[in-house]
Amino acid sequence: MKRQEKSETDRLSDLPDHLLLHIIQFMITKHGVQTCVLSRRWKNLWKRLTNINSHRHHFDQYNGVIFDKFVSQFLSGRDNSIPLHSISYRTNYEIPPKTNIPLELMEYATSHNVQQLEINTQIDNISNLELPPSIFNCYSLTSLTLCLRDVDNHTTTIMFPKSFNLPALNTLTLGHFTFFTSDNGYAEPFSTCNMLNKLVIVACKLQDDAQGLCIWNSKVSDLAIARINRDSNMHQVILCTPKLTSLGINGIPTTFPAPSTCNLTLLEELKFVCRYEDTDTMGEDINATNTISSKLLGLLPSIFNCASLTSLTLGLWDVHTTIMFPKSFNLPALNTLKLGNFTFFTSDNGYADPFSKCNMLNKLAIVACKLQDDAQGLCISNSKVSNLVISTINPDSNIHQVILCTPKLTSLTINGIPPTFPAPSICNLTLLEELKFDCRNGDTYTMGEDILISWLHLLAKVDIISLSFKILESTVNVLKNNGSMRAQLPSFAKVKSLVVEVPQCLDDEGLTEMVTYLLVAIGVSNERLTEMMRE
């Protein structure tokens, strides 16, 4: 059969405009504009784009001026008869821009009926910045993100207006704003947002005379509060959001009190992460300033008895307080649980067995958790869990043994563990398909042969093995230096795929040599070896 001759016909350019524009919309705006050089057919198509997606990393990292000129010229050159749907502008300048692009974008968005506007950037001398009144009086905006940071003084913020008119707004993200105090002594900025569904507040503050922040809104279902600094004056948060289904409180200091809540009967997803801040270098009493507040700990019983919760993330990072995971709780709908820095009680059989009563649990992640001193080990016994992550077990951790009684487990990830940590004991993991494995940085070279053998026996039971390069290198070195170990290796007949996370500086030849050595050592046939290396 004769080989078919390649066609030189440009069939792409024959497509109608609406299809070509649809294709260009998947590109970043910079590349979309560059299509104008392809041919006359493409010359003016970019002018009819309905979305602007211009981020600083799309340009040379030192060319902020060119980036701003590009955005300005794009706005002036586009076809204004075509409605503009969204604008996304993100920068992280080390040197403040000389242009006034953020304000130009705000005015353009409000005068061209833009529906979605995102501006996330740094501003030089933000205290002198005056936002155009139109940005808070726009009938078309459905989504607004304003995160404006001062280049030199990160404590300086912009005042959020007392009143505004954004009748179509359903998503609002604010960063580095200060809220006015209302007549009742609280900041209450969102009560007039009648269509607001999602609200995100990042590194915001209150006026000095405010008693706290009150989020009063009958429509908000998704709320996130993040990056409240230790010296923030947001000492109290009151939530009057009866339709709230998702609440995220992330990156707050351990001294931050738990929000006061009013009737959150619909809450399904809760993410609560406190961070530990080292204030000792500032001459303060570290024991006084970084212990988790009693009000915050007092919230835990209500969290662990929230019948509507389906997803719960709790990370209470405090080196001075032992935070006990409760012996009993009532979370009948919970299917996703992520825990950080908790200590598990010892049950009557001498093991910690905290999850056996989670009848709907599907995904479980445990990060830097511990056991009581009298516990022999951690037993994860659950008939429904299919995805399990165990991470960051410190060298001084007292979790010396893990037993998995999870018959429906299909994916297991274990990372950040010390080299002395043995592979978990398993009971009937016939459905296990994937295992991801990594040690703490620099620790793989001290992994003993017995420990390594225990992990290899576990790896042999899965279809897909995912290893860090450190684990691969350590395993190959141990096998090369101890030929007798090959007799102890299990059969790896079940393994279908090997994935290695590789540092960018590593050459392909060295990696291929190590992978080939490992696959041959574990008994992979030549035919299967060829297939796996090709994959």
* Angle, alpha carbons 133-138-139 (nearest 5°): 160
Q: Which helix (H) or strand (E) holds 29?
A: helix 29-34
**Do 327 and 419 share a domain, yes or no?**
no
pLDDT single digits (tens) 128-148: 678 899 999 999 999 999 998
Structure tokens at 503: 């540092």
Question: Cα–Cα distance between 436 and 413 in angstroms, integer?
Answer: 5
User: Stretch 386-405: mean pLDDT, rounded?
Assistant: 85
Does position 305 have pLDDT exceeding 50, yes or no?
yes
| Domain shared by 384 and 417, yes or no | no
**8-17, 69-78, 352-361, 465-474: segment of lowest average pLDDT:** 8-17
**Are both 458 and 484 inside the same structural domain?**
yes
395 by Cβ neighbours in 10 Å (0-12 / 13-18 / 19+) ranks as exposed
Model pLDDT, residue 440: 61
Confidence of residue 526 (pLDDT cuts 50, 70, 90): low
- Quote the CA–CA distance of 392 and 247 in Å, as a whole number: 26
- What value does the mean pLDDT take over residues 377-384? 94
Contact 488, 520 (CB under 8 A): no
Q: Residues 184-202: what's their mean pLDDT? A: 94
In a domain, 3, yes or no: no
Contact 476, 517 (CB under 8 A): yes
H/E segment holding residue 183? none
**Same domain for 469 and 383:** no
- pLDDT tens-place string over residues 226-270: 877 666 677 788 899 999 999 998 877 666 667 777 778 899 999
pLDDT above 70 as % of the chain: 81
Which residues are CB-contacts of 422 (< 8 A; sequence separation ≥ 6)? 400, 401, 450, 451, 454, 455
Residues 468 and 501 in one domain: yes
| pLDDT confidence tier of residue 224, bands split at 50, 70 and 90 | very high
Question: Does residue 426 sit in the same domain as residue 344?
Answer: no
Q: Which of 360, 395, 430 is the last residue of a domain?
A: 395
φ/ψ of residue 505, rounded to 5: -75, -10
- 438 and 375 part of one domain: no
The 8-class DSSP code of residue 30 comes to H
Taking a C-beta distance cutoff of 8 angstroms, is the pair 222, 266 a contact? Answer: no
Domain total in the chain: 2
pLDDT given at position 471: 84
Residue at 116 is within a domain: no
Note whether residue 49 is domain-resident. Answer: no
Q: Which domain holds residue 357?
A: 296-395
pLDDT over 60 at 399, yes or no: yes
Give the model's confidence band at 437: pLDDT under 50 very low, under 70 low, under 90 confident, else very high.
Answer: confident
Q: Mean pLDDT: which of 259-263, 442-446, 485-489 is highest?
A: 485-489
Query: If you average pLDDT over residues 151-175, what whole number do you get?
Result: 86
Strand 158-160, strand 177-179: pairing? parallel
466 and 348 inside one domain? no
Task: For residues 414 and 378, state if they share a domain.
Answer: no
Residue 434 resides in a domain: yes
**Is 443 a member of any domain?**
yes
Residue 20: pLDDT over 60:
yes
488 plus 520 within the same structural domain: yes
Do 375 and 333 share a structural domain? yes
**pLDDT exceeds cutoff 60 at 291:** no
Question: 294: pLDDT confidence band, cut at 50, 70 and 90?
Answer: low
Q: For the residues 413-432, what does the mean pLDDT come to?
A: 83
Which residues lie below 8 Å from residue 368, measured CB to CB, with a gap of 6+? 340, 341, 391, 392, 393, 394
Residue 310 lies in a domain: yes
Q: Are residues 421 and 388 in the same domain?
A: no
Question: What are the pLDDT digits (tens) for 313-329?
Answer: 998 877 677 889 998 88
Average pLDDT along the chain: 82
Predicted local confidence at residue 101, as pLDDT: 82
Tell whether 313 is covered by a domain: yes
Last residue of one domain, picked from the residues 330, 361, 395:
395
Question: Which regions of 2-115 does DSSP assign to beta strands (E)?
Answer: 51-55, 86-90
pLDDT in tens, 63-103: 556 677 788 888 888 888 888 899 998 887 644 455 678 88
Predicted local confidence at residue 3, as pLDDT: 46
Stretch 456-462: mean pLDDT, rounded?
87
Give backbone dihedrals phi and psi of 112, rounded to 5 degrees, phi first. Answer: -120, 20
Question: Would the pLDDT of 213 be above 70?
Answer: yes
pLDDT at site 286: 32
Q: Which of 366, 395, 424 is the last residue of a domain?
A: 395
Tell whether 405 is covered by a domain.
no
> Can you give the pLDDT at residue 214?
93
Q: What proportion of the chain, given as a percentage, has pLDDT over 90?
A: 33
